[in-house]
């Protein structure tokens, strides 16, 4: 299986930005074209095999994080110049220090809440490169490390500014080392959704936010003030994250009634993730309290217990979450009922 190249910015949004011809967006349009070209190049050359790390290999006690941050200095060669290692002092570079802190916050969620030792469950060192490329409009997990661009300055700012983005991309690594969901069609949308779920949970855990207090926005803080939008995606209300003259309107559906059938973006992995995203939010809303507790445990167990095939559909995943709820909390419980009702609301059959 190929390791997917997972980016935070959907290709459909970059394509929209690349078509802009107004003078004030010329740099942003050029940056979007370059980001699209980079995605195509990496996908064409991807040959690395998925590491074989069975979910059962979980240490009894997670170890401390082992973080390293590099600076690409505007180049596209990884990893770049070493600027901060585990335990080192802050650099004064906002991007480098945000990356370092974000890696640590993500490691802490998995260790404290789920007993997982880093991204692979085996203490994987957490590496990140900042200042990748010139005005690079994306952040991505490449199968080994995190990479962050600085944004074009007109539409997107630096990609380390959003903790949910850091948590999102590292969660692609968790999926890679557990269920290995294929990055295409509904399995790919689930892959994206799992990253949104755990990206949101990292942000909520660090902020000690209850499900009711949380924004449920992914990528909040990425847009410049000129953009009419809050974030890249809304888990609470898919399709409402932005409505902008340049970027258009958020196209995510919130139920199977509006499921998007397309060959673009690997079969709509960034668009249709809104459906399972909303299902998770609905479970968290119904149960109240902290979303990383019962809802997070159910989703994490589903992702890591070995029950999912790499090509799982929404229905397969929904049934697996219901089974995990029963395994963790029993039948005829509020947790099982919340999971069942959430999938019914988004029109995914159990």
Among 135, 154, 176, the domain-final residue is 176
| pLDDT number for residue 284 | 98
Q: How confident is the model at residue 329 (pLDDT cuts 50, 70, 90)?
A: very high
User: pLDDT tens across 284-321, in order?
Assistant: 999 999 999 999 999 999 999 999 999 999 999 999 99
What was the pLDDT predicted at 22?
Answer: 86
Which pair of structure tokens corresponds to residue 263? 């060959």
Active-site annotation holds for 270: yes
CA distances from 127 to 49, 80, 184, 256, 296 (A): 19, 11, 26, 37, 25
Please check the confidence at residue 338 and state whether its pLDDT lies above 90.
yes
- What pLDDT score does 146 carry? 96
Residue at 287 is within a domain: yes
**E-only strand ranges, 106-166:** 126-130, 139-141, 146-148
Catalytic one among 38, 98, 107, 169? 169
pLDDT band, very low/low/confident/very high, at 46 (cuts 50, 70, 90):
very low
Identify whether 13 is part of a domain: yes
Mean pLDDT of 195-219: 98
CATH number of the domain that residue 102 is part of = 3.10.170.10
19 and 44 both lie in a single domain: yes
- The Cβ of residue 331 has, within 10 Å, a number of other Cβ atoms equal to 9
Residue 350 covered by a domain: no
What domain range is 60 assigned to? Answer: 6-176
Q: Does residue 61 surpass a pLDDT of 90?
A: no
Give the integer Cα–Cα distance in Å for 279 and 291. 12
Residue 313: CATH number of its domain: 1.10.390.10
Q: Does one domain contain both 106 and 210?
A: no
* 169 tagged catalytic: yes
Q: What is the pLDDT of residues 136-190, one digit of tens each?
A: 999 999 999 999 999 999 999 999 999 999 999 999 999 999 999 999 999 999 9
Number of domains in the chain: 2
Q: Is residue 22 part of a domain?
A: yes
The pTM of the full predicted model, rounded to 2 decimals, is: 0.93
pLDDT at site 192? 97
Distances (CA, A) of 139 to 9, 130, 255, 258, 335: 7, 9, 27, 28, 34
Q: What tokens appear for 309 in the block? A: 């095939």
pLDDT at 267 over 80: yes
The residue from 176, 205, 222 where one domain ends is 176
**Paired residues of 249 in beta bridges:** 243
**Torsions phi, psi of 128, nearest 5?**
-145, 145
Is residue 181 within 8 Å of residue 194, measured between CB atoms? yes
Token pair recorded at residue 283: 């479970």
**Catalytic residue, candidates 131, 168, 172, 270:** 270
Residues 18 and 141 in one domain: yes
Residue 49 scores a pLDDT above 70? no
Same domain, 229 and 204: yes
Q: Does 67 reside within a domain?
A: yes
pLDDT tens, residue by residue, 139-148: 999 999 999 9
């Amino acid at each position: 299986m190929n390791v997917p190249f997972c980016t935070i910015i959907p290709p459909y949004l970059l394509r929209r930005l690349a078509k802009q011809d107004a003078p004030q967006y010329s740099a942003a349009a050029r940056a979007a074209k370059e980001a699209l070209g980079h995605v195509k190049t990496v996908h064409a050359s991807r040959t690395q095999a998925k590491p074989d790390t069975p979910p059962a290999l979980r240490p009894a006690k997670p170890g401390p994080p082992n973080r390293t941050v590099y600076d690409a200095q505007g180049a596209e060669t990884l990893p770049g110049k070493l600027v901060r290692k585990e335990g080192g002092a802050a650099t004064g570079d906002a991007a480098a220090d945000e990356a370092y802190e974000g890696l640590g916050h993500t490691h802490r969620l998995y260790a404290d809440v789920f007993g997982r030792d880093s991204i692979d469950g085996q203490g994987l060192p957490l590496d990140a490169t900042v200042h990748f490329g010139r005005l690079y409009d994306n952040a991505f997990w490449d199968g080994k490390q995190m990479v962050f661009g600085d944004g074009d300055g007109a539409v997107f700012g630096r990609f380390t500014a959003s903790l949910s983005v850091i948590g999102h991309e590292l969660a692609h690594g968790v999926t890679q080392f557990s269920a290995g969901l294929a990055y295409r069609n509904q399995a790919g949308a689930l892959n994206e959704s799992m990253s949104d779920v755990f990206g949101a949970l990292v942000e909520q855990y660090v902020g000690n936010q209850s499900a009711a207090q949380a924004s449920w926005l992914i990528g909040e803080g990425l847009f410049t003030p000129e953009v009419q939008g809050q974030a890249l995606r809304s888990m609470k209300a898919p399709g409402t994250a932005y409505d902008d003259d340049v970027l258009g309107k958020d196209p995510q559906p919130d139920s199977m009634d509006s499921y998007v059938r397309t060959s673009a973006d690997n079969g709509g992995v960034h668009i249709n993730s809104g459906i399972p995203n909303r299902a998770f939010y609905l479970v968290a809303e119904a149960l109240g309290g902290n979303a990383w507790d019962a809802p997070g445990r159910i989703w994490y167990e589903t992702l890591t217990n070995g029950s999912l095939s790499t090509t799982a559909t929404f229905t397969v995943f929904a049934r697996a979450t219901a089974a995990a709820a029963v395994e963790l909390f029993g039948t005829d419980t509020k947790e099982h009922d919340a999971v069942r009702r959430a999938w019914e609301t988004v029109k995914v059959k159990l």
